């Protein structure tokens, strides 16, 4: 998955924008000592609106997910760490 850094309006925390659904990023599991992602992912829609993920707090794993006019707040340290790591990974940087 092509994850890029984009400007994301946030208030004093890291914002990460994802186009499409989140996916595993190679190498991050080793960095953050994460468990392997589940092998059976839920089915995804054929077309989807942009999804915005906002890692509000890495330590608690608080992640805001916004799609359409919906807003879901998760507490998932694994997901937060993978997103954060993907944003910091050299191969993901967009100049």
Partner 1 sequence: MSSHREAPAIAKDPVADSTDLYAFVSPDAPDTATLIANYIPLEGPDAGPNFFEFGDDVLYAIYIDNDGDAQPDVTYRFQFTTQIKNPNTFLYNTGPISAINSPNWNRPQFYSVTRVANGAETVLGDHLACPPCNVGPRSTPSYAALALSAIHDLAGSHGKVFAGQRQEGFYVDLGSIFDLGALRPFQNLHLIPLPVMAGVNGTKHLNVHSIALQVPIADLTRDGSSAFSGTVDTKAVIGVWTAAYRRKAIIRGEGDDVESGPWIQVSRLGNPLFNEVIVPMSRKDRWNELPPISDSQFLQYVQHPELAKLLPVLYPGVFPNLAAATGSRDDLVAILLTGIPSGIISGFQNFTGKTLADMLRLNMAIAPSSSPSILGVIGGDAAGFPNGRRVADDVVTIELRAVAGVTYPLVNPGFTPDGAAGLIYDVEDPATNTPPVSYLNSFPYLNHPESGFDIPS
Which residues lie near partner 1 (CB under 8 A)?
Answer: 6-9, 15, 17, 49-52, 54, 64, 66-71
Integer Cα distance of 75 and 56 in angstroms: 10
Q: Least Å distance between CB 14 and partner 1?
A: 13
Q: Least Å distance between CB 12 and partner 1?
A: 15
Closer residue to partner 1, CB minimum distance, 10 or 27? 10
Q: Least Å distance between CB 6 and partner 1?
A: 5
Integer Cα distance of 76 and 95 in angstroms: 29
Residue 61's Cβ-side half-sphere holds a number of Cα atoms within 13 Å equal to 10
């Amino acid at each position: 998955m092509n994850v890029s850094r984009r400007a994301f309006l946030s208030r004093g925390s890291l914002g990460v924008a994802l186009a499409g659904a989140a996916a595993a990023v190679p190498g991050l599991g080793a960095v953050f000592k994460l468990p392997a992602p589940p092998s059976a992912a839920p089915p995804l829609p054929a077309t989807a609106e942009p999804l915005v993920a906002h890692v509000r707090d890495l330590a608690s794993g608080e992640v805001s997910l916004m799609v359409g006019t919906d807003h879901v707040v998760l507490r998932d340290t694994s997901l937060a760490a993978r997103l954060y790591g993907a944003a910091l990974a050299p191969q993901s940087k967009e100049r």
